[in-house]
Amino acid sequence: MKKYNFNAGPSMLPREVIENTAKQILDFNGSGLSLMEISHRAKDFQPVVDEAEALVKELLNVPEGYSVIFLGGGASLQFMQIPANFLIKKAGYVNSGTWAKKAMKEAKLFGEVVEVASSADDNYTHLPHNYEIPADLDYLHICTNNTIFGTELREDIDAPVRLIADMSSDILSRPVDVSKYDAIYAGAQKNMSMAGVTVIIVKDDVLGKAPRELPTMLDYRTHVEKGSMFNTPPVVPIYTLMETLRWVKAQGGVKEMDRRAHECAEALYAEIDRNKLFRGTVAKEDRSLMNICFVMNDEFKDLEKSFLDFATERGMVGIKGHRSVGGFRASCYNAMTMEGVNALIQTMKDFEAQH
């Protein structure tokens, strides 16, 4: 039976990206060696890093004066690497969900942290809106897509201070005005690659200002200067990233990804709103196009387990909601197709017809 992968991360990748990576794992560029066995300094591998970097810049229209680096440690390492490099006295955080809160916790190790806005009291069922950004912050940190709660900020805000964004779960799903940010970071395993690499886009002239000595590995300058080759980078995840970037470009770039994201999410939300069994969990204006969260309506609560079984039998994978929301979550990243979304919609309709 065909499987439709709605996992929140690691998540679905385009089939051809997986196949091309698999080929290179067996025989890298006809060298007779696996991609896993070669030196990261092999002359055949440098072009992979160069192309991945160039494609990130091209696809996201990264302006002059920014560097793109690939690091290990996941987005979670960035929760501390960002304040280590950028926090001088005081940073502001928008607390829009679990990941935003974790980022804020790490920043407190490096200086004063202000929670500029929060939707925690409403269990993050909407984004914080209409908050004031103090002008004396070293930076404001936002999380553009709240993977767990299913809210998303799909625009680039104006901030009177440096703006830093965790875009782990919606990068490459829309055009971004990078010039509004001083740093953007994203763990790759949601929308770009397998787990193991994190993409960081950082403005060069803000580096080196932190009033602390940084361990070499934590200083972004180390990796900018060495082109992500200071130490052994995650070779296979970077290769897969490059393949995904090629795929995004061939499909029509981030504008086309944006169009598809709207198409998939709007169809699924329309079914959630129409179907008597289900309801969405977040404010309509803040609904994520990437992570679509829904629960059973109260009078059908006892059908939750049986819907999950029903959907699983039909090939739906990964739709169980995160424990802090419950219900269901269908993640529709770039590689998801309307075919997959329609299969889920049909499953919901068929289940409704039985009840």
Catalytic residues: 99, 166, 190
To the question of whether residue 99 is assigned a binding role by annotation, the answer is: yes
**Is 187 an interacting residue with respect to ligand PLP (CB under 6 A)?**
yes
- Of 7, 29, 76, 337, which lies in the binding site for ligand PLP, with binding defined by CB under 6 A? 76
Q: Are 85 and 207 within 8 A, CB to CB?
A: yes
| φ and ψ of 193, to 5 deg | -165, -170
335 is in an annotated binding site: no
Residue 125 near ligand PLP by CB under 6 A:
no
Task: Tell the smallest beta-carbon distance from residue 95 to ligand PLP (Å).
Answer: 13
Helices 74-86 and 98-107 cross at an angle (nearest 10°) of 40
Distance (Å, whole) CA 28 – CA 38: 8
Angle (CA) 350 351 353, round 5°:
65
**Residue 75 makes contact with ligand PLP by CB under 6 A:** yes
Under the binding rule (CB under 6 A), the answer on residue 11 touching ligand PLP is no
Nearest-approach distance from CB 64 to ligand PLP, in angstroms: 28
Pairing status of strand 278-280 against strand 328-331: unpaired
Asked if 239 is part of the footprint of ligand PLP (rule: CB under 6 A), the reply reads no
Residue closer to ligand PLP by CB (options 24, 291) is 291
Shortest distance, position 100 Cβ to ligand PLP, whole Å: 8
The C-alpha atoms of residue 351 and residue 347 are separated, in whole angstroms, by: 6
Under 8 Å between Cβ of 84 and 209: no
User: What DSSP letter does each residue of 310-334 carry, written as one string?
Assistant: HHHHTTEES-BPPTTT-SEEEE--T
72 near ligand PLP, rule: CB under 6 A: no
**Closest distance of CB 188 from ligand PLP, Å:** 8
Cβ proximity of 116 and 133 under 8 Å = yes
Give me the 82-101 binding string for ligand PLP, x by CB under 6 A, dash otherwise. Answer: -----------------x--
Rounded Cα distance, 82 and 113, in Å: 13
* Nearer to ligand PLP among residue 21 and residue 193 (C-beta): 193
Eight-state DSSP code of residue 137? -
Between CA 276 and CA 355 the distance in angstroms is 10
Q: Is 9 in the site for ligand PLP (CB under 6 A)?
A: yes
String marking each residue 259-288 x if it binds ligand PLP according to CB under 6 A: ------------------------------
Q: Is 291 annotated as a binding residue?
A: no
DSSP assigned state of 217: G
Residue 166 marked ligand-binding: yes
Choose between 300 and 321: whose C-beta lies nearer to ligand PLP: 321
To 5 degrees, how large is the angle CA 94–CA 99–CA 101? 50
9/351 with CB nearer ligand PLP: 9
Whether the bond between 10 and the residue before it is cis, its omega within 30 degrees of 0, is: yes
The rounded radius of gyration (Å) of the Cα atoms in the chain is 21
d(CA 103, CA 141): 8
DSSP for 258-299, please give it: HHHHHHHHHHHHHHHHH-TTEEESS-GGGB-SSEEEEEE-GG
74 contributes a contact to ligand PLP by CB under 6 A? yes
Residue closer to ligand PLP by CB (options 85, 291) is: 291
Q: Is 232 annotated as a binding residue?
A: yes
Flag whether 247 is marked binding: no
User: Interface residues for ligand PLP in 133-172 (CB under 6 A)?
Assistant: 143, 147, 166, 168-169
Is 198 within any annotated ligand binding site? no
Least Å distance between CB 238 and ligand PLP?
15
Q: Give binding residues for L-glutamate as ranges.
A: 41
Which residues contact ligand PLP (rule: CB under 6 A)? 9, 74-76, 99, 143, 147, 166, 168-169, 187, 190
**Binding-site positions for pyridoxal 5'-phosphate:** 75-76, 99, 147, 166, 189, 231-232
